[in-house]
Amino acid sequence: MTSNNSHFVAPIDETPLQATDAVKTDQAPLSLWADAWRKLRRRPLFIISSLLILALIVIALFPGLFTSTPPNDGCELGNSEGGPTAGHPFGFTFQGCDIYSRVIHGTQASLSVGILSVLCVLVIGVTLGALAGYYGGWVDAVLARLGDIFFALPLILGALVITQLPLFRENKSVWTVVFVISLLAWPQMARITRGAVIEVRNADFVTAAQALGVSKFKALVRHVLPNALAPIIVLATLELGVFIVAEATLSFLGIGLPQSIMSWGNDIAGAQASIRTRPEILLFPAAALSITVLSFIMLGDAVRDALDPKSRQR
């Protein structure tokens, strides 16, 4: 029997899946970050949050573009708690300073405190937490217990002592506050990182990578950490806001930024004097703070999605 009805084989150039299935062996695989970037720039969440943050940075760098009212001079007690008037759209603080101008000029210090503290906490906390969780054993014992020591320090005691150091006593600046916050807040970040790393370190893909000859440390950086990023990002974005508010608490206790440095924290602490009479004075710095935190939460969300290896292009 001659077989004239052979198996149908589709011509190879007909299927559109070809492009998808092709393994481009001549091309290096996209790096994690390049891949993330490609995904990021198409996400509306990322675009909106980046624009907001960009705007905040411009305000922080060039407050003079947005208001010509000096924030700290010409406060007249006669204007105390006054409502909005021409040229003063938000009204006046307890001391009769222009609220709008203070909020604009406060951006720089507050944003610096928030971002710098978060960066410090990230660097210290993620490094130590990742090493502790990944290597375990005595490394974990030493690093985790070191964290415990700092965790047990009462905030106000730490802050009081640090601001008394000769380095900071004479010129308190944004860095003083950043130092206090970072020193006392890194153990939290370290613990979260450690927990997330412990969760990931036994995953199959880590074992596989090491079996393929990837060094133990490289496996931590390339495979474990990217998979442990979600809680770190959540913590970092929320802490940005919490740190800015923490500066308010420090100012309130008299160990924060000096009066001459405008900050939302200083304003929030100052608005306490009006809380029974004109609570809305508090709203303006608090709203600025909320917008900032919201932008960073949205950005964090978008970055996390883009970095999530589970949804990565292969």
The span of 21-29, 83-91, 218-226, 306-314 binding another protein (CB under 8 A) equals 306-314
Q: Which of 255, 302, 303, 306 binds another protein (CB under 8 A)?
A: 255
Structure tokens at 24: 């481009």
| Out of 113, 293, 299, 306, the residue judged to bind another protein by CB under 8 A | 293
Q: Candidates 30-38, 60-68, 107-115, 257-265 — which segment interacts with another protein by CB under 8 A?
A: 257-265
Sequence-ordered list of residues with C-beta below 8 angstroms from that of 99, at least 6 positions apart, any chain: 88, 90, 91, 92, 93, 267, 281, 284
- Taking alpha carbons only, the member of 105, 106, 123, 111 closest to residue 185 is 123
Q: What is the DSSP letter of 92?
A: B
- What is the C-alpha R_g of the chain? 26
The correct pick among 26, 202, 212, 313 for binding another protein (CB under 8 A) is 202
**Chosen residue from 30, 61, 203, 221 binding another protein by CB under 8 A:** 203
127 versus 249: smaller Cβ distance to another protein: 249
Bridge partners of residue 88, in order along the sequence: 85
Binding pattern for the stretch 205-234 against another protein, x by CB under 8 A and - elsewhere: -------------------------xx-xx
Considering only residues 142 to 201 of the shown chain, the ones binding another protein according to CB under 8 A are 144-146, 148-149, 151-158, 160-161, 164, 187-188, 191-192, 194-196, 198-199
Range in contact with another protein (rule: CB under 8 A) among 9-17, 52-60, 91-99, 100-108: 91-99
CB of 111 to another protein, least distance (A): 14
The phi, psi pair for 75, rounded to 5°, reads -75, 120
Q: Within 111-150, which residues bind another protein (CB under 8 A)? A: 136-137, 141, 144-146, 148-149
The Cα 178–Cα 186 span in angstroms is 12
Chain centre to alpha carbon of residue 46: 14
Q: How far is the CB of 37 from another protein (least distance, A)?
A: 20
Kindly state the smallest distance separating residue 116's Cβ from another protein, in Å.
18
Residue 288 beta carbon to another protein: minimum distance, rounded to whole angstroms: 9
As a whole number of angstroms, the distance between CA 289 and CA 299 comes to 15
Count of CB atoms situated within 10 Å of the CB of 309: 13
Q: What share of the chain is helix, strand, coil (3-state, %, to 5)?
A: 70, 0, 30
CA atoms within 13 A on the CB side of 73: 3
Which of 69, 95, 127, 210 forms a contact with another protein (CB under 8 A)? 95
149 beta partners: none
DSSP state of 202: T
CB 190 within 8 Å of CB 124:
yes
Q: Mask: binding to another protein, 36-55, rule CB under 8 A, as x and -?
A: --------------------
Minimum Å distance from CB 125 to another protein?
11
Interface with another protein (CB under 8 A), residue total 79
